Amino acid sequence: MNGVHHAGPRLIPQLQEIPPLLPQLKDMCSASTVTFRSPLIDVSNVVSPNIASGKENHGKPVRRPTTLIADNINSAESSSRSSQFRNTSSSNNLSALSGMSSISSLSSGRHTLKPKTFNNTPVPMMDITSDGFGGFTQPTRDTTVGISKDKSINKGGAPFVFKLSGQNYHTIGTLLPKDGEPLRFSQLYIYDTENEVFNRQQAFESKSSSVGVEVQIIQQLKDMLDKDNVLVKSYRMARDHLAQNPNCNVKLRIISNRNKDAQTYNLPTTSEVAALIVGDVSNLLDHRDIVVTSKSGSLQRISELHPSYLPLQYPLLFPNGDDGYTINIPHRDVTSLRNTTKKKCTMREFFSFRIQDTLNKFSLILNSRRLYQQFLVDAYTMVESERLNFIRGKQSSLRSETLEAIKNAKNQGQKDMSSTGQRVVLPSYFTGGARFMMQNFLDAMALCKWYGYPDLFITITCNPGWPEIIRFLLDKTIKPEDRPDILCRLFKMKLDSLIKDIKEKSLFGKIQAVVYTVEFQKRGLPHAHICLFMHPDSKLPTPDHIDRVISAEIPDQNEDPELYSLVQDFMIHGPCGPHNTKSPCMVKGKCSKNFPKKYRERTSTDSDGFPLYRRRRDGPTIVKSGADIDTRFVVPYNKFLLKKYQAHINVEWCNQGNAIKYLFKYINKGPDRTTLKLQPYDSNNQPLKSIDEIKLYYDCRYVSACEASWRIYAFDVHHRYPSVTRLPFHLPGQQNVIFGEEDDIDDVLEKASISSSMFDSWMKCNELYPHARNLTYVQFPSKFVWHAKDRCWKPRKQGVSVGRIHSVSPALGEAYFLRVLLNKVKGPTSFEDIRTVNGHQHASFRDACYALGLLDDDNEYIEAIKEASHHGIGHFLRNLFATMLVCSALSRPDHVWYQSWKTLLDGIVYQRQHNPNTEGSSINDDELKNLTLLEIEKILVLNNSSLNNFDSMPYPQCGDLLLSENALINEERSYDKDVMLQDFENIFVKLTEEQRNIYDEILTSIDNKDVTPRPKVRPTLFTLTLCAYLICD
């Protein structure tokens, strides 16, 4: 969990036989000879795969290599050869769209943007586009990006990383600048074009005074865009019209719809891209069209679905103005590659295709260095924005309600579904959302419940210096950080290889379950947290077993120079502390990772369950950053994994109960986020009644280029083996139903998903299969599989799955008790069977739980109330009972109520006897119970609860009247005026002359109803006097 994550390139001997420019990766799972003394990997006996084999892979059979670059396939051959675009080592969603969709290759801007020389000085295209944040691309692009870039991580000590926070969007301004304002973006194409080259040079140099661009380069780029770029041509058309008609109200419409054959996705013509509008805007405009006004107006936001969304922002990456993503790109009929019902190419698939390397074809996008990082983040945020906009669009039309409520609505003659149900919030299937992360945490805990605590915790981090990456980039003038897509793809291959070593090759012994999640460092590199659940025969019960798998010491350089060098490069923390007080891990003068560790002669665990590894004194040392580092700074590692994968791989033992929840919370915490208050407020500092979870997600998240690449390729963010089946349940007639506000109520009730819920089908399956009656609901997925299409359970033919029943709060009453029973009752065929115990059918699920001994009798709470009555008054006792209810401490609240109500009514009878309106009147027990319940309800309302929330508790008559009263105001008005008057007289005489003057002024203002703001006064003796007087008045 700790340690360094960067290292320089290291050439592995077994891979040196591959030609440097060969665009293929050697299989990382090549055979190696390892001597196993037991199912454990003994770090004292594992050697390098090269040494163990006795040769450097010469003559060894090699698997088919994985292709990271696609062939440059002509359109006539694309259908038959599109499989060459697939990553042959993984089943993940790398694009094969060259043979599946009608996306053409991007133009490369003739020869202007290819590497060339000016004045005998090499000026490759990347030098023009590398600084995408204020460099040459800024005075040539037409739009601006509305993002918040995280600049805190780029301090010059590490490779550049592009990272944004918040919501990303593009905006476009006017055709002409306002008076006195400088030219910006697309205005350079229209205004003062006689001096355009000079204006563009000035725009560039104003952003970077230390870097200049030759006029010749600007002129050639300008000529290229004028000749080839259809968007630039449309701006020139507007310029010519304004020159001839300077007072004309002209607008430039950038058209979103492409009226052409969708099977030929080619470069659009100028007439397809833009049109001039003179006068008022036509009502026939598409809602995604961009209308640029002459001079007046504010910035206009551009839809992510507009074909010119990207060409406007990146003119040098789309030099001919090629269209970006459009919603009508069809899939070709290539059934051999993919069995899908989707007819159109999705935005994610489009970008997955765009960032593919192609043999013998130069790609402007892939060679644009820092600008490529921005492009990737821009692309992924477009994909995510489209998904969130879809969810937001459904917010106004989708509803969720229980089946019983819908039936009641029908019985009442209601046909309009728009007023039924609640709005749907950001769902749990949205990757990265809060509910998504919580569900993954609960799934991991379900595995823990099934297999016990995990035994090993492994963290592997991408190494940008891997030799495969270095060789891949040898013929290019870019650095590894400028190809985050390649970093992610290679890391995914390494991660798959590691999981295969663990699961199939039994690296640590037999494995029962594996859980991992992929995250991205502050520096942007991907890393994975892996939890391993070992088979009982392969566990690590003693410190000696742990020492054979995990080492936290520096190896002897003479005995194993390779391992010594690897530990030096990858497994040394810092150095920090006295060696480097400015290390990033230093917080208030101490290392936040608790380095250096203490010397220990043997491995043990602390009181919290965390391991304390052997770190012997007088061991070898390592010199790093000029400091002499000993074993106290070593991050725990496994010798075999470190030698094979040559990256930062932290291996920790974690089989202790106290650390498990922290561990799973840590690996499921999600991507980088800021911290927000749970309750949002509006502009008037008033709490919002409706929380926009999509906006909160936008405001919290950070996205880096590596994460964008990972998500565009649709690689798994979370992985579980075996799978976890989430099991919903519901009370009779209480299953949730999703419907549209315009749906007919009869059509909603006739849906197959309503009559056959997953929970109902389980009980039906128990009738069909006798052996199913030996399983509880949570055990059921281990033997049966849910077929959503057929709405039924079927016997499992292979594999295994772990069941997890959805969690509910004890405050939900019967639903909670039903869940308790589902963990105990086997093979019920109806709701009545679930609440039947020893042949007796109980009236409620709670009573069935009590009969099974699953609930306490709550006698300790009854005794607590009786004990408190000896020294507490009635108000205190009722507060105590309300606290028990709010905290869900009572198994049977009604039982405690009926046993304690006479104690809880203390003081109520006394108040009635001294009330002139009720003095002398008789009152029966039912009325006393009702009065006591009213007092308890008042307390619950103040705590945002109610007796209505507890099914078994009676509700007082006239209790609804409490909802119409302001309980806080009533509480403030409940002072004893006589006592407050005496307090006022005692403290008024203590006021100073200045305080009395302010006191008189305030009272005069109150009498005159003057609400002019006054200076704030701290709560002192003066304010106490004023409040006492006002209460008494």
pTM equals: 0.73
Residue 593 lies in a domain: yes
Same domain, 846 and 762: yes
User: Are 892 and 817 spatial neighbours (Cβ–Cβ below 8 Å)?
Assistant: no
Judge contact between 426 and 694, C-beta under 8 A: yes
Do residues 456 and 527 share a domain? yes
3-class SS at 817?
helix
Identify each DSSP E strand in 444-585 by its residue range. Answer: 456-461, 511-520, 526-534
For residues 265 and 274, give the distance between their C-alpha atoms in angstroms, rounded to a whole number. 18
Provide the pLDDT for residue 291: 64
Q: How many domains does one find in the chain?
A: 5
Return the pLDDT at 288: 61
Residue 991 shares a structural domain with residue 908 = no
Asked if the structure places residue 169 within a domain, the reply is yes
Residues 959 and 1012 in one domain: no
From 851, 874, 908, the end of a domain falls on 851
Contact (CB, 8 A) for 290 and 300: yes
* Domain presence at residue 602: yes
According to the model, what pLDDT value does residue 917 have? 63
Task: Find the domain containing 912 and state its range.
Answer: 859-972
Q: Check residue 63 and give its pLDDT.
A: 34
pLDDT of residue 822: 96
Examine the domain organization and report whether 760 and 906 are in the same domain. Answer: no
- End-of-domain residue from the set 667, 691, 716: 667
My answer on whether 235 and 138 are in the same domain is yes
| Residue of 338, 333, 309 whose CA lies nearest to 321 | 309
Can you tell me which residue has the tokens 């229209």? 190
Q: Are residues 161 and 46 in the same domain?
A: no
Each residue's pLDDT tens digit, 616-628: 999 999 998 888 9
Q: Average pLDDT, whole number, for the chain?
A: 74
- pLDDT for residue 582: 87
Q: How many angstroms separate the Cα of 832 from the Cα of each of 263, 345, 848, 854?
A: 59, 50, 11, 18
d(CA 242, CA 234): 13
Question: Is the separation of the CB atoms in 667 and 529 below 8 Å?
Answer: yes
Q: What is the pLDDT of residue 406?
A: 62
Question: With a cut of 50, which residues of the chain have pLDDT below it?
Answer: 1-92, 95-98, 116-136, 139, 147, 207-210, 261-266, 281, 284, 336-338, 674-690, 962-967, 1016-1017, 1019
pLDDT value for 265 = 47
460 in helix, strand or coil? strand
Give the pLDDT confidence score for residue 82 in this predicted structure: 32
pLDDT of residue 22: 29
Within-domain flag for 89:
no
- Angle at 704 (CA atoms; ends 634, 495), nearest 5 degrees: 50
d(CA 947, CA 953): 6
- pLDDT value at position 331? 80
Torsions phi, psi for 55 (to 5 deg): -155, 165
Check residue 248 and give its pLDDT: 76
Answer with the one of 821, 851, 881 that is the final residue of a domain. 851
Whether the bond into 575 is cis, omega within 30 of 0? yes
Q: Hey, what are 431's tokens? A: 């990757």
Spatial separation of the C-alpha atoms in residues 255 and 308, rounded to whole Å: 8
φ/ψ of 889, rounded to 5, equals -85, -20
Angular region, 460: left φ>0, alpha ψ -120 to 50, beta rest: beta
Tokens of 317: 């990456």
pLDDT on residue 640: 96
Tell me whether residue 95 is in a domain.
Answer: no
User: Is the domain of 981 the same as that of 967?
Assistant: no
Task: Please check whether residues 498 and 604 belong to one and the same domain.
Answer: yes
**Nearest CA-CA partner of 300 in 137, 132, 144:** 144
The DSSP call for residue 810 is G
Q: Are residues 212 and 129 in the same domain?
A: yes
Would you say 469 and 490 are in contact if contact means Cβ atoms under 8 Å apart? yes
Task: Evaluate whether residue 783 is within a structural domain.
Answer: yes
695 three-state secondary structure: helix
The verdict on residue 244 lying in a domain is: yes
Residue 388 lies in a domain: no
Residues 544 and 639 occupy one common structural domain: yes
In the chain, the amino acid numbered 741 is E
pLDDT for residue 784: 97
Q: How far apart are CA 1032 and CA 906, in angstroms?
A: 29
Q: 943 and 824 share a domain?
A: no
Q: Which helix (H) or strand (E) holds 457?
A: strand 456-461
